[in-house]
Structure 1
């Protein structure tokens, strides 16, 4: 729990709404909630943020969906978050890193890349040239 007994997720959402130029009704609609009262209940800590709605809510609030999801998982299911982090070695990628990975996948025609010594050397040469 954070200040005033609110959950960290509720405080995060409240702060994002306050920063937003949108009304709570607009945010609720964009997040796919049938009634804005659901968002009020989440803000007050009376109900949990549905995990499946986090991507839509993040877009509506213009916040990072990964940060939002990890915050919610850490509050609602900390043990599951820990297991996922261990299993998937979660390291958050930047938007540019994601774009780079997408370009690599496109260049590989959808096939994965094996980090062979040859690929590693070619990547090192590319990065050396790109960063000059």
Structure 2
């Protein structure tokens, strides 16, 4: 009898990593069965399949799954699109409809508009350097690494 794989083709996707991280973070309060029920999945094992990267996130279930995982639905939807489509297709969708922004990203943009007097200023190298300098030390090590580049 063939052994069932423990990881699937989507195992390294950002969506799978986020689901795994959120399930671990919620472990004290919610089981995978709870998450499956809240997200409207009839099979609780589907959460395990998502966590292992065996299945893609069904796009129509993103809002309910995001709520069950207590994450921003726009972020989960953007990552789910990456699972469903080749990179070029996801970029085409973004080019037509615009980037999918999380509530936090919208808050950043609103703050930038406030600071700039709602003027549509280009993002200069000087502004990037100032933002990098301001963010270093505030966020996680990975975010610090990105901020230095």
Whether TM exceeds 0.5 here: the answer is yes
* Number of residue pairs matched by the alignment: 99
Q: CA deviation at 1:32?
A: 0.6
Alignment of 1:10-89 (within 5 A): 10-20=16-26, 21-77=29-85, 78-89=87-98
Distance 1:91 1:50, change over 3 A: closer
C-alpha RMSD of the superposition: 2.8
What is the alpha-carbon distance in structure 1 between the residues aligned to residue 99 and residue 22 of structure 2? Answer: 25
Q: What SS is found at the alignment partner of 1:16? A: helix
Question: TM-score under structure 1 normalisation?
Answer: 0.63
- Which runs of no fewer than 5 residues in structure 1 stay unpaired? 99-123, 125-132
Structure 2 unpaired stretches of 5+? 1-8, 108-116, 118-149
Superimposed CA distance per residue, residues 96-120 of structure 1 (whole angstroms, 9 cap, x where no aligned partner): x69xxxxxxxxxxxxxxxxxxxxxx
Distance 1:60 1:91, change over 3 A: closer
Larger radius of gyration: 1
CA deviation after TM superposition for structure 1 residue 91, in Å: 5.6
Output the CA distance in 2 between the equivalents of 1:69 and 1:40: 19
Q: Which runs of 4+ in 1 moved over 6 A?
A: none
| Whole-angstrom CA distance in 1 between matches of 2:71 and 2:91 | 23
